[in-house]
């Protein structure tokens, strides 16, 4: 059986990933924070966004291309950044960067990933994005931007919605520490997952290689959900955004925008795009779903809007685009794919999403992403088969 037959949906990849990952790694990838109400809210709110299907429109040729930052991209989605990506699967960043380059879609590298900008330079395509967790020291800041630029990253993302470490209780209960330490409890989990264990044995336990240049000595007392990056970083303010605008000569994206009034001010300060996101429910458990705030932010700005949080299908991508997004990013889904299928997983996920986009656009009689119909609000009550 081919991959399409065995793993036709993101849920299939997630199910297999859970069976291949040590529990503490799965909890790190899949968990939210608090009672995970925001994570559930993201899913429920997306499911309320529907469309009226079209009939008698005849055959159509579907074009999935879109425009962002003055360039035409073949697909309306890309790879979101994920901290400690290499903990999920050995050499994760390189596999994801190569797949994204082949597909000509954006790949985003986190400051706290397990490979550095220089590591990925040979594998980066034309759409490299660098996500900045904001260093406090301006000299470190300047050096990070220079390293990203020299390595071929074109777009800078400021993640603004992590002013402090979240609690992520599931992650804490799992026994994961930062940096990761294989205690007897975790070793027992590793021994039950041979594919992950063999890969890690070859690569070594992951750490945040971008930060090696700036940190020496012991980490001190950090919470189990914080990490070495918290020794360097600060909670950014408006002056910080202005500083980045003055020192980065490419597109600047502000990630974590959830308030329309912030969107207005960010447009005035010179941001090139806003990323509507509640961090997939991993930071704060009392926020609306990202999809709920997307149309409100679209009403006040004409900047490109990027969207994430809870996206699991091509239909979800269409939902976000119909409500005002220009582009959609997926983080967990790409790592589910890696953990499920190894290096071949991300390409299979791209194929899943592409086919789902085409199938749903065919139902809508829609040949272009620019011609999506207005969304239709679906009932919130569960249907009989749920």
> Could you list the active site residues?
279
Give the torsion through C-alpha atoms of 160, 163, 164, 165, to 10 deg.
Answer: 0
Task: Supply the Cα-derived Rg of the chain in whole angstroms.
Answer: 20
Q: Any residues with CB less than 8 A from the CB of 255 and at least 6 apart, and which? A: 131, 157, 158, 159, 160, 161, 275, 277, 306
Q: Dihedral sign, CA of 194, 200, 201, 202?
A: positive
Tokens representing residue 176 in the block: 């994961």
Buried b (16+ CB within 10 A) or exposed e, 119-145: bbbebbbebbbbbbbbbeeeebbeebb
Asked if residues 242 and 269 have their Cβ atoms less than 8 Å apart, the reply is yes
Asked if residue 179 has a cis previous peptide bond (ω within 30° of 0), the answer is yes
Contacts within 8 Å (CB) and 24+ apart, 317-321? 317/76, 317/77, 317/353, 317/357, 318/51, 318/357, 318/360, 318/361, 318/364, 318/372, 319/46, 319/49, 319/291, 319/375, 320/291, 320/294, 321/76, 321/369, 321/372
Distance CA 92, CA 96 (A): 6
Q: Any residues with CB less than 8 A from the CB of 230 and at least 6 apart, and which? A: 165, 222
Query: What's phi and psi for 284, nearest 5 deg?
Result: -145, 130
Query: What's phi and psi for 247, nearest 5 deg?
Result: -110, -5
Tokens representing residue 265 in the block: 């001010």
């Amino acid at each position: 059986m081919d991959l399409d037959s065995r793993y036709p949906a993101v849920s299939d990849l997630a199910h297999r990933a859970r069976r291949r990952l040590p529990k503490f790694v799965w909890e790190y990838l899949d968990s939210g924070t608090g009672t995970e109400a925001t994570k559930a809210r993201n899913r429920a709110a997306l499911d309320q966004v529907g469309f009226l299907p079209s009939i008698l429109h005849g055959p159509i040729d579907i074009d999935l291309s879109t425009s962002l930052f003055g360039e035409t991209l073949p697909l309306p989605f890309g790879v979101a950044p994920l901290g400690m990506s290499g903990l999920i699967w050995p050499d994760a960043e390189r596999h994801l960067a190569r797949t994204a380059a082949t597909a000509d879609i954006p790949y985003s590298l986190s400051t706290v990933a397990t490979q550095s900008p220089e590591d990925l330079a040979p594998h980066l395509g034309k759409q490299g994005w660098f996500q900045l967790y904001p260093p406090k020291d301006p000299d470190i800041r300047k050096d990070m931007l220079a390293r990203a630029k020299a390595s071929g990253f074109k777009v800078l993302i400021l993640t603004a919605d992590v002013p402090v470490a979240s609690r992520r209780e599931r992650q804490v209960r799992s026994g994961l520490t930062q940096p990761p330490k294989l205690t007897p409890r975790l070793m027992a989990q590793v021994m039950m997952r041979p594919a992950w264990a063999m890969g890690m044995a070859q690569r070594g336990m992951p750490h945040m290689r971008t930060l090696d240049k700036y940190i020496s000595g012991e980490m001190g007392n950090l919470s189990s959900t914080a990490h070495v990056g918290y020794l360097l970083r600060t909670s950014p303010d408006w002056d910080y955004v202005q500083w980045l605008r003055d020192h980065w000569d490419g597109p600047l994206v502000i990630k974590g925008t959830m308030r329309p009034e912030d969107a207005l001010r960010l447009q005035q300060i010179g941001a090139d795009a806003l990323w509507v996101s509640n961090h997939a429910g991993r930071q704060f458990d009392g926020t609306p779903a990202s999809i709920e705030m997307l149309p409100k932010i679209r009403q006040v700005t004409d900047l490109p809007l990027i969207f994430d949080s809870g996206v699991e299908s091509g239909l979800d991508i269409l939902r976000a685009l119909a409500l005002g997004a220009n582009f959609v990013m997926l983080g967990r889904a790409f790592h589910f794919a890696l953990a499920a299928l190894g290096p071949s997983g991300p390409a299979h996920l791209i194929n899943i999403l592409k086919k789902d986009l085409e199938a749903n656009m065919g139902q809508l009689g829609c040949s272009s992403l620019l011609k999506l119909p207005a969304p239709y609000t679906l009932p919130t009550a569960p249907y009989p088969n749920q």
